[in-house]
A and B are shown apart, each in its own frame.
Chain A
């Protein structure tokens, strides 16, 4: 039922000064890459990828940027939020040596799939791309899983100085990966798709959403492809055909906005 189930926050973690994880009880099964609609009463309802899957306990990780996430950031243990979902398609693990590339808060979406891959004994390399070292999160988490973690920062305050895609290009030249999984700014993912050449590719997209279950059309890209229902995970073959990818999105009125 696509109706928000009200649940209490059971724990919060500050991942960095602007990024927080909220944990709540939500027994329904969800797969890495799928998302919830999170209702922040009297403020908004927004789509958010699952960032932790621990049996009945699920988590979301977000940066405070707009009204909804600012309010969400202030919530404490025992505060109530509404959850509906899970929605959309999930990431799929293919091959034995995966390169993960996360940019900004896109890292949050990759959390559960890196966990699943490493648990299955798949060689996992992850690039965490951020503006600066303050914005990095999940580094320890990924290392704990046994993933090989690379950091890139735009200002060089930690790790590789430059874009995550520049670092990815170097890694792709030196190594053979069986697939690339990514979430982050769309321009970054588009560049990565070009770099991926024939390597199987999956990316998680984000759009303004209303229903989350495929009827309203708000999140459509290309020829009626619904990010909520047909995505948010798309493979490289599909993305290459979508002209909007990395070019524009739509606001709540349906106006095109350049990315």
Chain B
């Protein structure tokens, strides 16, 4: 639900504090043939392939959205520093409030994780974008890394304003009857309930090693899930797949559940809970 202005507006009306756009590249991209999204026992498997209308066509969506005074994170992906910087400048010009650098898409050749697994690239791209724009820059990183802490540190060294963790987990599904992978791209990224413990661990480890804020995500379906991420060190959370599990008004439900829990446990400000599990 991040494709166009209308759907992002609906998400805000359903209680979200901000929206992250679809990841946008320089040129329009069709993405992969279907099947691109399927549900498995404990999560959702996708390989959309970074389909997007291209930055030029996206200008109108941002401008439409900004009329309603909505906080927008413009998500961008490029294959090198130059592309990233160009996209970042354009997003800022169109009016987004912050940037999210997609350095973690697990299923697009030459983009996403292929950039985000190289600490030097992460630092260089982040630093160059920071020099080119004055809005906050967040780097979304992947759990499919042995050196996730090092990658997060590289983003911090590049002056990132924050980290977003995690993107989907590399995964695949084979159909027994047809003896073939179901996704047209064969492999994809797993999201939803199953990946929550993976995300919580990543946020915990990153949070121990950096001093910039973290936005936690991966499998958050309830207020308690969100609180777990917050206790691991996240200052905010993102929700996507759980729209399927609990409906589009999940944002209101989760906020309410967090408030309830805080009330029951004597907290009046969520910042009191951020990173509380690091004792």
Find residues 150-188 in chain B having any chain A CB closer than 8 Å to their own CB: 173, 175, 177-178, 180, 182, 184
Against A, the Cβ 8 Å flags (1 = close, 0 = not) of B8-39 are 11110000000000100000111101111111
- Check A1–B39 contact: CB distance below 8 A: yes
Residue A172, interface by CB 8 Å: no
Judge if A4 is at the interface, Cβ distance under 8 Å: yes
Interface size on B, residues (CB 8 A): 44
Residues of A within 8 A of B244 (CB): 211, 213-215
Known A-B contacts A214-B244, A224-B1; the reply to A253 vs B52 at CB < 8 A is yes
Asked if B3 contacts A6 (CB within 8 A), the reply is no
Q: Which segment of A37-45, A140-148, A184-192 sits at the interface?
A: A37-45
Partner of A213 from B3, B33, B39 at Cβ < 8 Å: B39
A6 to chain B, nearest CB (A): 4
A82 at the A/B interface (Cβ < 8 Å)?
yes
- Contact size class for A? 35 or more
Does A54 lie at the interface of the complex (its beta carbon under 8 Å from any beta carbon of B)? no
- Interface residues as binary, A221-233 with B (CB distance below 8 Å gives 1, 0 otherwise): 1111110000000
Please tell me if the beta carbons of A44 and B33 are within 8 angstroms of each other in the complex.
yes
B1 touches A210 (CB 8 A): no
Q: Give the one of A3, A213, A250 with max B CB within 10 A.
A: A3
User: When A2-B38, A252-B30, A253-B29 are in contact, do A218 and B3 touch as well, CB less than 8 Å?
Assistant: yes
- Find chain A residues with CB under 8 A from B230 CB: none
Say whether A220 faces chain B, with CB atoms less than 8 Å apart.
yes
Cβ contacts A to B, 30 pairs, < 8 Å: A3-B39, A3-B173, A3-B182, A6-B178, A42-B180, A46-B34, A80-B177, A80-B178, A82-B175, A82-B182, A210-B34, A210-B37, A214-B248, A215-B37, A215-B44, A215-B241, A215-B243, A216-B36, A216-B37, A217-B7, A217-B22, A218-B3, A223-B9, A223-B10, A224-B10, A224-B248, A250-B3, A253-B53, A254-B4, A255-B53
Minimal Cβ-Cβ distance residue in B for A219: B3
Count A-B contacts at CB 8 Å. 125
A251 close to chain B: CB less than 8 A: yes
With both beta carbons as reference points, the residue of chain B lying nearest to A46 in the complex is identified as: B34
Query: Chain A binding site: helix, strand, loop or mixed by DSSP?
Result: loop
Chain B residues with CB under 8 Å of A84's CB are 38
> Which residue of B10, B30, B36, B182 contacts A4 across the interface (Cβ within 8 Å)?
B182
Please state if A224 and B177 are interface contacts (CB–CB under 8 Å).
Answer: no
Question: Which of A2, A46, A84 is the most central at the interface, judged by chain B CB atoms within 10 Å of its CB?
Answer: A2
Residues in chain B near residue A44, CB distance under 8 A? 33-34, 184
Is the beta-carbon distance between A253 and B30 smaller than 8 angstroms?
yes
- The chain B residue with its CB closest to the CB of A45 is B34
Instruction: Assess the A255–B28 pair: CB atoms within 8 A.
Output: yes
Are A252 and B51 within 8 A (Cβ)?
yes
Q: With A and B bound together, what is the CA distance between A218 and B28 in angstroms?
A: 14
The answer, among A42, A215, A218, for a CB contact under 8 Å with B240, is: A215
Of all chain B residues, the one with the shortest Cβ separation from A41 is B178
Q: Is the CB of A220 within 8 A of B3?
A: yes
What 4 additional pairs, Cβ within 8 angstroms, besides A4-B182, A223-B10, A250-B3?
Answer: A3-B39, A223-B9, A254-B52, A254-B53
Q: Is the CB of A250 within 8 A of B4?
A: yes
Residues of B32-86 at the interface with A, using a CB-CB cut-off of 8 Å, are 33-41, 44, 46, 48, 51-54, 57
